Structure 1
Amino acid sequence: MPDVRAPYAGFVTRPLAIAVDLGGTKVEAALVDDLGSVLPASRHRRPTGPTATSAELEQAVRDVVLATLAALPDDAILVGVGIGAAGPIGVADGTVSPLNVPAWRDYPLADLVSGLVPGVPVVLRIDGVCITLAEHWIGAGRGAHNLLGMIVSTGVGGGLVLGDRAVPSPTGNGGHIGHIEIAGFEDPCPCGGRGCLEAVASGPRTVAWARTQGFEGTTGEDLAAAHAAGDPVALAAVERAGTAIGRAAASASSLLDLDVVAIGGGFSRVSPALFEHARAALAERVAFGFVTRTRIEPSALSDEGPLVGAAALVHRPELVA
């Protein structure tokens, strides 16, 4: 195993962080430099999911972290590990309880990773904060001072940067916009709420709603293809999800006076129409110019955003509350 704690003799060192992204369908890790660039050959992923056991999840994390560590170049120094995890999390004790990964409740993920990469700091935050840091650093929110980042995928996560810093949060769950309730919707949510944004607009729940209307597909990819083909149920499903996202963004901006809402995640790419519907819903707040000035933008970081944001926990500590 390479020495991760000291520069290599004879080389000009470059600082790298291991970025870990734990979500409802996969865990991924990669090396990311201090400019926010992901080293492609260092990127590894394994499945997670609602049926995975705790032992399977532990092994998946070990696999990706150790494979990424093995890719550390000889001219680099590892300066830390940043972890972005689906919420809720416990930032004080480094635990995770992802709603869509039921085998882990108050699981000590930070301790697991620390044991794999001794001698460097390990920083854990909710995945929504990580995507927001990434967009603020090098993405769609670059230059914005007040930013909401949103992940629309298996679930819906979020995070906030206000005044160029991640908002302080005693448990680490601040900005978790997936579980605010949206007017006009009554979809039940596993968190106990009704009409939560995640229950309405996540990929699986949007597909589930479409199936109640006669849609025969089973995945977000199926829905995207049907939408592109003009299927009326798929069109309605994407409009429904986009409207909910826009209402959530408008409510958040009413509260926080946001410059940008940057949205990433796999399901956010179902169709550009998702963003059109979201912007239309936000534009309905006609009396509040400070709300309608808010820009809703797709992530500028493709699927690398969560990893870049996890690395920002290490490379850009001044942004992290």
Structure 2
Amino acid sequence: MAAVIPAVTRLSSRIIRILGCNPGPMTLQGTNTYLLGTGKNRILLDTGDKDIKDYQEHLTSVISSEKINIEHIVVTHWHHDHIGGVEDLYGTIAKSPKIWKHRRDPTDMPDSQLPNTIPLNWLTDGQELSVEGATVKVHHTPGHTTDHVVLTLQEENILFSGDCILGEGTAVFEDLYSYMKSLQRILDLKPAVIYPGHGNVVQDPIEKIEYYIEHRNKREKQILDTLEKNIDKQLNEMDLVKIIYTETPEHLWPAAAYNVNHHLTKLTKENKVKCVAVDGESRWQFVASKSNL
């Protein structure tokens, strides 16, 4: 069982973690948000869900006790459990912060449901934001979403991983190809520790990142092997989940099926499997490699 995450934790002289108080199957104990810096002005990384009173009270208490101001709010990606709290904080708990987020792909849904009265500033890859005691560098890491970023704290070689890497379990993603490239980019950063968007601090970051890469490669092989063993059948995502994800709790099967779908999309592009329609439903079948003889 994962160690309980307190509502407020001082992780170092320049980092305070405030739990989003929005637990759930996909958010684990809740969304981790982080206050960064040592001076009066601080950076807040992510804001949790909208209308979470407990979170607002905890954040207000920290701001009051530390006698600080939120100068920047950086959102790692558009998902509601990271950007949702912006509307609650802007102009009240955070008086006049700059809100920062990376742009999404033009073909995606609108960036957010934030009111037009809350201006968004666009992050760029390699950009740095600084307050007293904390300088963070932005690294665009698409895959979980097209706008996802991770940030490195230059003073402590810490990586804030958002939803790219979690404190427990593995992450979901929109595009497997991009996600694998992003994992490799994070590995190349060689962080000393990872502070994730959900779950506890990752003290063995290199091992964790390598596990994520190996896990996805293993899942791909399992999917291919399962389809090859059932070469005369057409299977859908949930069929594959029930065969492969034997150690995964049933309530997480839909998320697993979502990931399997992205593996199948990648494998289809590589002509290793084919998609067939059966009674109006997409199913997949193994494609035997052609002999060179």
Query: Under a length normalisation based on structure 1, what TM-score does the superposition of the two structures give?
Result: 0.30
Could you say which structure has the greater relative contact order, defined with CA pairs below 8 angstroms and 6 or more residues apart?
1
Query: Under a length normalisation based on structure 2, what TM-score does the superposition of the two structures give?
Result: 0.32
- Which structure: greater strand fraction? 2
